[in-house]
Amino acid sequence: MIRALAILLLFQLAGETVARGTGLPLPGPVLGLAALFGLLFLRPSLRDRLEATATTLLGHLSLLFVPAGVGVIAHLDTFGRDGPALAAALVVSTALAIVAAVAAFAAVARLTGAQADE
């Protein structure tokens, strides 16, 4: 498990190094994950080494939301003051995301010639 954690953290570090070194507008962990994803295609045996650790980490992913919850509690006055604007932004952005997804799906269906069930 230590070796698998070290591999995961090394890819995160590599991604962070590349992101900061090149000035790319992408988070370092995303670049590290993309590199790890590519390596998993080249060396499928690495999957077996990382699977147990990754499954354990994903099983406890909810713990990563604790800092966000603490941040919400720490800024309750901001939510009280700007709550309606934040709620409106959340609702509008969610609706726009749904509309964009539907438009993308319709465009792909039209391009691929998919027929609607009759």
pLDDT tens digits, one per residue of 47-73? 989 999 989 988 888 887 788 788 888
Domain shared by 40 and 91, yes or no: no
The predicted pLDDT at position 118 comes to: 44
80, 28 contact by CB (below 8 A): no
Q: Which positions ≥6 away from 15 have C-beta within 8 Å?
A: 27, 28, 29, 30, 31, 32, 33, 34, 35
In order, the DSSP letters of 72-96 are HHHTHHHHHHHHHHHHHHHHHHHHH
Domain shared by 39 and 75, yes or no: no
In the predicted model, what is the mean pLDDT of residues 11-28? 91
Domain count, the chain: 2
Range of the domain at 84: 69-118
For residue 81, being part of any structural domain is answered with yes
The residue type at 86: L
In the predicted model, what is the mean pLDDT of residues 22-51? 91
The predicted pLDDT at position 34 comes to: 94
In the predicted model, what is the mean pLDDT of residues 69-90? 88
More confident position, 118 or 40:
40
Domain shared by 73 and 47, yes or no: no
Distances (CA, A) of 17 to 4, 11, 27, 77: 20, 10, 10, 37
32, 14 contact by CB (below 8 A): yes
Confidence class for position 24, pLDDT limits 50, 70, 90: confident
More confident position, 34 or 113:
34
Domain shared by 114 and 89, yes or no: yes
For residue 26, being part of any structural domain is answered with yes
For residue 64, being part of any structural domain is answered with no
The predicted pLDDT at position 64 comes to: 76
For residue 43, being part of any structural domain is answered with yes
Ranking 17-26, 66-75, 96-105 by mean pLDDT, the lowest is 66-75
The residue among 27, 59, 91 that closes a domain is 59
The residue among 59, 81, 103 that closes a domain is 59
